[in-house]
Structure 1
């Protein structure tokens, strides 16, 4: 993008610059600067809200790409990676050739990298962030390249210590007393006098198992037996990481190299093999085995955290577990999205006091908070004959003649003016609970601005 541009992130109660392009930095702007001050310095500054979550996802993808150069790759802060290329540079023709290959491949993807090379991770990071080239001498960089606290940087600059070389030529005892030992440790790491190891990130666990069979199988009982043998160690691995499976994929490879998949979507995270195994029966029964199945693979393709919980004295399953199993069984037939539940909604309008959501992807909500009782059945308003502000003594509804025995109310409900609703354009409604002599318990409302009576619900 041409011209100054920056990403902003809300910190506290103010928007601050989170990331800038080169043109914005040339205008004197810097990261952490408030948005109002930045606009005062640079009126032409364009901005967009920052998304740190997307930055972290992109850095994870870049982490995987960097392992093509060496296996020891780790994150260095929120915006950088550090690689231990010891023993790997000769595969690329030297450090310069490796850095050049990184730069060229990133450029083809539309990325611009700031690269640095040094004896330690601190030195390489200082060169990448503050140097002009990847082979700059760390001693000539500013003291901010050591990344101490901003207050320490200001104090060092006021003392005349502006570069790492100035800091290295100063007696260490006064520096340690005034700024603490951490500054000297960072200095030694930048100069290569102190070890600065790189701890690569561990690969995320994979929840998948495979079994190759000496003889092809085709019976449902045999396939379920193999699935049970794979499911037990898979659930043990999930338990070790305190995770639960939400989606399981069973891949059955036939001897003719064709394969079929049985996908099981669970209503809640599970890692109990005895509960999961029967849920595969329907899908396995529909598999066409052909001349036989010689390989079975079971993988948890979607997992969620499932902490260990205290169990009761009874071995019987709890009611939520049985409900989750029921939802899963029904969901395998009609789809989990079609098994729905009612949830409370924050609205005083009767029609909007609830929402319908898939039961497998939502938690049960709390009870409805209503100062007055609500009918069990709710339907669109149906007009009835009547006049005045009190319920009529006799009314005819759905071809039934009813006589009012008791009326409780009114409860006035005003429309939500900020929402467009054709049904509530008439304005206020005064609701009454009417008990009839014939046994019907109706929910009537009266519209005072346009007099009329309507039935909208029926109590049990």
Structure 2
């Protein structure tokens, strides 16, 4: 069976947020916003997929749009594939908007092929999904029926059902179909009646291969969708609990079992959800986002303590469930202690790194992991562009920076300084900055930095700069630069 969802993206979005108006999803493509998918109401105005949004609004000024989300569409299609296993155990994906089902030996469970199709069509309609179904002895013919002539092809009827259909029913590329149509070969029947040797000489092998697959002369296997591993454990309590110590004891048992499953699969948890069900059937959940993939039970338990303390137990908790909602691959690691580790300080370094990750996790669950930032170097000789801020949870620290010369700890926009008289090309002996009179005690430089000529940067409009590291008698160590083209002095940073 071939199951095709012609409006999968639009109907998924409308299921979440229904609207009573012409509706379309847009996607940025070829330097403009274009229609990605749309509802039947929008199609009645003459709109089509691939049409630019500006052009579409000229046909339908009241068009409502939302950005398309192809990743969410694929997740939804996978959910539909899981739902389809109620009809058969063998379900595979067909591109980005379809499914293949091998219902061999399972159609009689619903009274036959016709009742099975009617049941599936009715359930999808109640869910707000329009679907086209094709059933045949081969995947190729089933696909052709679902896309061009919905129905069932009985045993020995494959050829009779697909010969009136256009060449696109054979899943051939558009370029190949266009080339054949220019020669007057429009339908599958026209192609079937041609001498095979002629077709084989003039066209790619896929033309005859797709035809043979549709007719059953060549086998075609359906690749079943692999089940996504689920990491979840549950603890049902004979008597309700409410004290924090009891809750943490139950959480410890769950975390230890979950970490054992993660370790066996060489996975690490990135996001965890601990759900508490009370005796009044109300549930509360505590979510934990981790800065790094983790499967260390003791560390995870300590991170859950704050969230568990905020749970209202009510008349008691009778069930606890822990689930790793997001995981990543995490390879095996050496756990046996070795004297060499302690001598080289590796074990201590690992503990310190884990402590930093735990701190980022604790702070991130309060203010958001994306709000805890760290500096990372960027390949640029311009001081202002030689670093960037990235979320600490999703990046690794850099132990050494590529710059050979020291850079100030604090960097700020250039601030002019006041000089009495002419200072020349060397730092002034006395100058005034931020309302303070400073005296130069030592100076090291210059370091000449030229602007990036290929970038239009107004901050470097004065041209090249000569940087100096200046120590003052008042205890400040500043980063000064001089602009030779327009002789002036500025402060741009301060050393520790």
TM-score after normalising by structure 2: 0.66
Matched, 1:289 2:290: no
Aligned to 2:408: 375
Matched, 1:389 2:427: no
Aligned to 2:108: 87
Tell me the alpha carbon deviations over residues 112-141 of structure 1, each in whole angstroms, 9 at most, x when there is no partner.
Answer: x55422123232123334x44434613555
* Equivalent runs, 1:411-422 vs 2, <5 Å: 411-414=448-451, 418-419=456-457
C-alpha distance in 2 between matches for 1:156 and 1:428: 63
Point out where structure 1 has 5 or more consecutive residues left out of the alignment.
11-18, 22-30, 32-48
C-alpha distance in 2 between matches for 1:372 and 1:174: 71
Q: 1:176 to 1:314 in 2, by over 3 A?
A: farther
Task: Name which of 242, 262, 266 aligns with 2:290.
Answer: 266
Q: Is the 8 A contact 1:8 1:50 kept in 2?
A: no
C-alpha displacement of 1:159: 13
Q: Which moved more, 1:178-187 or 1:138-147?
A: 178-187
Matched, 1:134 2:151: yes
Aligned to 1:278: 302
Q: Is the 8 A contact 1:99 1:115 kept in 2?
A: no
C-alpha displacement of 1:409: 0.7
C-alpha distance in 1 between matches for 2:125 and 2:475: 83
Aligned to 1:41: none
C-alpha distance in 1 between matches for 2:177 and 2:469: 73
Task: Name which of 118, 137, 142 aligns with 1:97.
Answer: 118
Q: 1:255 to 1:149 in 2, by over 3 A?
A: closer
C-alpha displacement of 1:214: 0.4
Aligned to 1:402: 439
Matched, 1:201 2:225: yes
Aligned to 1:455: 491
Aligned to 1:431: 467
Q: Alignment length, in residue pairs?
A: 426
C-alpha distance in 1 between matches for 2:72 and 2:370: 28
* Equivalent runs, 1:112-131 vs 2, <5 Å: 113-129=131-147, 131=148
SS of equivalent residue, structure 2 residue 135:
coil
Q: Is the 8 A contact 2:163 2:187 kept in 1?
A: yes
Aligned to 2:157: none
Q: Which moved more, 1:202-211 or 1:397-406?
A: 397-406
C-alpha distance in 1 between matches for 2:448 and 2:381: 12
Matched, 1:238 2:262: yes
Q: Is the 8 A contact 2:477 2:494 kept in 1?
A: yes
C-alpha distance in 1 between matches for 2:28 and 2:283: 49
Q: 1:161 to 1:425 in 2, by over 3 A?
A: closer
Task: Name which of 347, 354, 362 aligns with 1:321.
Answer: 354
TM-score after normalising by structure 1: 0.70
SS of equivalent residue, structure 1 residue 384:
coil
Cα RMSD for the two superposed structures:
5.0
Point out where structure 2 has 5 or more consecutive residues left out of the alignment.
1-21, 31-35, 39-49, 51-66, 154-160, 339-346
C-alpha distance in 2 between matches for 1:309 and 1:362: 21
Tell me the alpha carbon deviations over residues 202-255 of structure 1, each in whole angstroms, 9 at most, x when there is no partner.
Answer: 332222221110012222222122112111221233234433211212122222
Aligned to 1:35: none
SS of equivalent residue, structure 1 residue 94:
helix
Aligned to 2:43: none
